[in-house]
Protein backbone atom coordinates (compact mmCIF):
# COMPACT_ATOMS: atom_id res chain seq x y z
CA UNK A 1 0.00 0.00 0.00
CA UNK A 2 0.99 3.61 -0.59
CA UNK A 3 -0.37 6.44 1.54
CA UNK A 4 -0.15 10.16 1.03
CA UNK A 5 -1.13 13.20 3.01
CA UNK A 6 -2.42 16.32 1.27
CA UNK A 7 -2.04 19.24 3.69
CA UNK A 8 -3.19 22.86 3.55
CA UNK A 9 -2.86 25.83 5.86
CA UNK A 10 -5.63 28.27 4.96
CA UNK A 11 -7.08 31.49 6.29
CA UNK A 12 -10.09 30.80 8.50
CA UNK A 13 -12.42 32.83 6.28
CA UNK A 14 -11.63 30.55 3.31
CA UNK A 15 -12.19 27.16 4.96
CA UNK A 16 -15.83 26.81 3.90
CA UNK A 17 -15.02 27.59 0.25
CA UNK A 18 -12.09 25.16 0.17
CA UNK A 19 -14.08 22.38 1.85
CA UNK A 20 -16.98 22.88 -0.56
CA UNK A 21 -14.57 22.74 -3.51
CA UNK A 22 -13.03 19.54 -2.16
CA UNK A 23 -16.40 17.84 -1.64
CA UNK A 24 -17.95 18.94 -4.94
CA UNK A 25 -14.97 18.85 -7.29
CA UNK A 26 -11.83 17.13 -6.04
CA UNK A 27 -13.21 14.21 -4.05
CA UNK A 28 -15.55 12.86 -6.75
CA UNK A 29 -12.82 13.03 -9.38
CA UNK A 30 -10.20 11.32 -7.21
CA UNK A 31 -12.66 8.54 -6.35
CA UNK A 32 -13.65 8.14 -10.01
CA UNK A 33 -10.07 7.27 -10.91
CA UNK A 34 -9.49 4.89 -8.00
CA UNK A 35 -8.06 6.89 -5.09
CA UNK A 36 -9.38 5.88 -1.68
CA UNK A 37 -9.93 8.54 0.96
CA UNK A 38 -9.03 7.34 4.46
CA UNK A 39 -10.27 10.60 5.98
CA UNK A 40 -10.05 14.38 5.95
CA UNK A 41 -9.70 16.56 9.03
CA UNK A 42 -9.11 20.14 10.08
CA UNK A 43 -7.62 21.86 13.12
CA UNK A 44 -8.07 25.50 14.10
CA UNK A 45 -4.66 27.03 14.82
CA UNK A 46 -6.27 29.88 16.83
CA UNK A 47 -4.34 32.43 14.75
CA UNK A 48 -6.88 32.98 11.96
CA UNK A 49 -5.57 29.91 10.11
CA UNK A 50 -6.78 26.33 9.87
CA UNK A 51 -4.88 23.18 8.97
CA UNK A 52 -6.80 20.87 6.66
CA UNK A 53 -5.39 17.50 5.67
CA UNK A 54 -6.50 14.31 3.98
CA UNK A 55 -5.00 10.83 4.03
CA UNK A 56 -5.31 8.90 0.76
CA UNK A 57 -4.64 5.20 0.15
CA UNK A 58 -3.46 3.50 -3.05
CA UNK A 59 -2.50 -0.06 -3.88
CA UNK A 60 1.00 1.10 -4.84
CA UNK A 61 3.04 4.18 -5.67
CA UNK A 62 2.65 3.31 -9.34
CA UNK A 63 -1.15 3.29 -8.94
CA UNK A 64 -0.95 6.70 -7.27
CA UNK A 65 1.01 8.09 -10.23
CA UNK A 66 -1.46 6.60 -12.72
CA UNK A 67 -4.46 8.01 -10.82
CA UNK A 68 -2.86 11.45 -10.54
CA UNK A 69 -2.10 11.45 -14.28
CA UNK A 70 -5.71 10.52 -15.01
CA UNK A 71 -7.02 13.28 -12.73
CA UNK A 72 -4.72 15.90 -14.25
CA UNK A 73 -5.56 14.67 -17.75
CA UNK A 74 -9.33 14.98 -17.23
CA UNK A 75 -10.05 18.18 -19.14
CA UNK A 76 -13.54 18.61 -17.65
CA UNK A 77 -12.09 18.35 -14.14
CA UNK A 78 -9.25 20.77 -14.96
CA UNK A 79 -11.81 23.25 -16.27
CA UNK A 80 -13.88 22.97 -13.07
CA UNK A 81 -10.77 23.62 -10.97
CA UNK A 82 -9.70 26.58 -13.13
CA UNK A 83 -13.24 28.01 -13.03
CA UNK A 84 -13.24 27.73 -9.23
CA UNK A 85 -9.96 29.62 -9.03
CA UNK A 86 -11.24 32.32 -11.39
CA UNK A 87 -14.45 32.66 -9.35
CA UNK A 88 -12.25 33.33 -6.31
CA UNK A 89 -9.91 35.87 -7.93
CA UNK A 90 -7.48 33.63 -9.82
CA UNK A 91 -5.03 30.95 -8.75
CA UNK A 92 -2.24 33.35 -7.80
CA UNK A 93 -4.64 35.48 -5.74
CA UNK A 94 -6.05 32.45 -3.90
CA UNK A 95 -2.57 31.13 -3.06
CA UNK A 96 -1.29 34.54 -1.98
CA UNK A 97 -4.29 35.58 0.11
CA UNK A 98 -6.06 32.44 1.37
CA UNK A 99 -4.03 29.25 0.96
CA UNK A 100 -0.79 29.85 2.81
CA UNK A 101 0.79 26.40 2.50
CA UNK A 102 0.21 23.22 0.50
CA UNK A 103 2.10 19.97 0.95
CA UNK A 104 1.69 16.61 -0.75
CA UNK A 105 3.63 14.02 1.22
CA UNK A 106 4.24 10.29 1.10
CA UNK A 107 3.61 8.57 4.42
CA UNK A 108 5.80 5.72 5.64
CA UNK A 109 4.49 3.16 8.11
CA UNK A 110 6.35 2.60 11.35
CA UNK A 111 4.80 -0.86 11.85
CA UNK A 112 6.77 -4.03 11.25
CA UNK A 113 5.74 -5.76 8.04
CA UNK A 114 4.74 -8.81 10.13
CA UNK A 115 2.03 -6.84 12.00
Which CATH number does the domain housing residue 85 bear?
A: 3.30.70.100
41-76: pLDDT as tens digits: 999 999 999 999 999 999 999 999 999 999 999 999
Instruction: Give the span between the Cα atoms of 105 and 61, in whole angstroms.
Output: 12
Q: How many domains does the chain have?
A: 1
Q: Which residues contact 22 (CB under 8 A, 6 or more apart)?
A: 40, 54
Question: Is the model's pLDDT at 115 over the cut of 60?
Answer: no
Instruction: Give the span between the Cα atoms of 40 and 6, in whole angstroms.
Output: 9
Contact predicate 58/2, CB 8 Å: yes
CB atoms closer than 10 angstroms to residue 54: 20
Give the residue numbers spanning the domain of 25. 2-107
Residue 82 — pLDDT band, cuts 50, 70, 90?
very high
Q: Is residue 14 part of a domain?
A: yes
Amino acid sequence: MFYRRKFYTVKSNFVEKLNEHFNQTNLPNQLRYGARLVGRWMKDNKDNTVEIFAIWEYDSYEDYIEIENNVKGDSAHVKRVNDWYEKNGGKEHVHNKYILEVRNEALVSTLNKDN
